[in-house]
Structure 1
């Protein structure tokens, strides 16, 4: 029987193995990793999906901020990675993990991620308000998505810890 539990209850080596299987061993080169560098996931928003003692899915959420061009620091939550074991993809695990993280954060929480609108749009994410945002490293602007109460003008998303972890 599947079990949803806090990600912190799963051995970190299991999480790393799942992320490698889902995204490849070169995943650390991605821009999202640069933004999250040095941070710890928010425990109350990060979950594991365990089936028969095996980690088959996980989601991590991170405390970041948007530094706006007018000097404000806006706390946000960066969602991801959302990983599902290759042999369990397409079974609804990722959907359930996203729904749990969003529910735990609150329906109007300022959430952002780097991902495909075709998938994350069903959870209320969109690129309408992120066109003026900037991030370190290479990324495709159309894949910078947000939901909830977020500014729609300038700034840079950065790895500054200002939310309680």
Structure 2
């Protein structure tokens, strides 16, 4: 999407055939994506319909999706701190760099309840998600996740990062 194009059409993800979503995710991340660490963090959970969207191009084709999941950071004392895991943010390869991912992120962030937004966590590019959306790896240095990951790619966004536990293990929210 360039400046001459209109904004993408965003619809609730639950309005899209799940098979089409899976095909898009396979194209964006590969068919082996289910073994990635992010999948282990949210294992057994369903994505949240109110915070998950699809992007359609001008011809009505599915070109991108974003899913948001309930997760929690369990601190060393065993207390679960609820959070939202963002991702995958997926755009078909031939449409990447056209603004669809950014539009999906903005839609998800705009749908958060601003009266008490939960911290949002993701595994992604710190430069991109930090510059555009305020995510940072600084608070996550003492956090653990199930599976391999690059520490500088575990990012969080919170209204008040000072309330985040400095240590803990990220996993599915079982509240």
Matched, 1:46 2:48: no
Deviations 1:124-162 (A, max 9, x none): 000110001101111111110001145141110011333
Q: Does 1:29 align with 2:35?
A: yes
Structure with max Cα Rg: 2
Provide the C-alpha distance between the structure 1 equivalents of 2:169 and 2:146, rounded to a whole number of angstroms. 8
Equivalent position of 2:146 in the other structure? 136
- Shift >4 Å, 4+ stretches: none
Task: Look up the match of 1:75.
Answer: 82
Unaligned runs of 5+ in 2: 1-5
* Structure 1 unmatched runs, 5+: none
Question: Could you state the TM-score of these two structures normalised by the residue count of structure 1?
Answer: 0.93
- Cα separation, 1, equivalents of 2:79 and 2:174: 15
CA distance in 2, matches of 1:46, 1:159: 17
- Aligned runs of 1:1-165 on 2, under 5 Å? 2-51=8-57, 52-106=59-113, 108-121=117-130, 122-148=132-158, 149-150=160-161, 151-162=164-175
Number of residue pairs the alignment of both structures matches: 162
Q: Residues 139 and 156 of structure 2 are in contact (CA less than 8 Å); yes or no, is this contact kept in structure 1?
A: yes
Whether the 8 Å CA contact 1:131–1:152 is kept in 2: the answer is: no
**1:97 Cα deviation after fit:** 0.4
- The CA RMSD measured in Å over matched residues stands at 1.4
